[in-house]
Amino acid sequence: MKNTVFEGVATAIVTPLNEKGVDYEAFGRLIDWQIAQGVDAIVAAGTTGEGSTLTDEEHREVLKFCVERVAGRVPVIAGTGSNDTAYAIDLTEYACGIGADAMLLVTPYYNKATQNGLIASFRAIADRSSKPCILYNVPSRTGCNLLPATVAALAEHPNIVGVKEASGNISQIAQIAALCGDKLDIYSGNDDQIVPILSLGGKGVISVLSNPLPAETAAICRLWREGKTAEAAALQLKLLPLIDALFTEVNPIPVKAAMAAMGYGENYLRLPLTPMEKAHEEVLLKLLREAGARLV
């Protein structure tokens, strides 16, 4: 049995940006609010944090700021994956050095590595990490699917402790659970599948929804752990329209609009991402209000 990085909800936190760079004032307020609302961990500079368009210097600064602001209140998971294994190793070593609690390693995008290539790459990064590593499978974005047998092989590495599964394929996730047992923790990477993945033995979710609704997202996991499965499922289904609205355009376009409307920075994204279409934004903000989010 490996050590679990977290149980419950980890917010894949947005990085507030403006024309000058990272808005650290808004970022700090957002981190503090997330923790006060009961999230169990924070993922910095991942997909939702626009890690792919941060400069190398910004990426490191964002990770360092997050670690220092959190100050041990919850685990900080650093997004250090890349399609360049050497770069991922360098960033991972940096994140370990500044005190991040774990790494989130996305499958190499664009390269579309073979399964053997994925094993070699992830092992090379994990070998150089002094902290636990969570794999991140999101084939819709990367063009590369981390297959169950590959995950099982990687689970034998002492530093590879979990997988964020965002394939959307429940059958595949069930196969991972069957093959890996207690060698690997499974986290939902899709907010509409939190309860189904918990039912397969998952530990929680790395969430976009928890940016605007941290307490409610945490409640889904808490209710499940308390044995209140019907209540957890009911809350999951109640929030489904909002979850869908957060993905009407590619993440993090909608959640950036949501957080700007709640006062956490500007609705600013870096190209090639652009602000949400007005019709979609109107639906999103209406659903946020109905869910109890406080808009400024």
The catalytic site residues sit at 136, 164
Give CA–CA dist 175/148, Å, rounded: 6
Contact 175, 163 (CB under 8 A): no
3-state secondary structure at position 214: helix
CB under 8 Å to 185, separation ≥6 — which residues? Answer: 2, 4, 5, 134, 161, 162, 163, 202, 203
Tokens of 184: 């690997």
Residue 79: φ, ψ to 5°: -75, 105
> Based on the number of CB atoms within 10 Å of its own CB, is 114 exposed (0-12), middle (13-18) or buried (19 or more)?
exposed
3-state secondary structure at position 118: helix
Indicate the Cα dihedral angle 28, 32, 33, 39, nearest 10°.
120
Angle at the Cα of 27 from the Cα atoms of 31 and 50, rounded to 5 degrees:
105
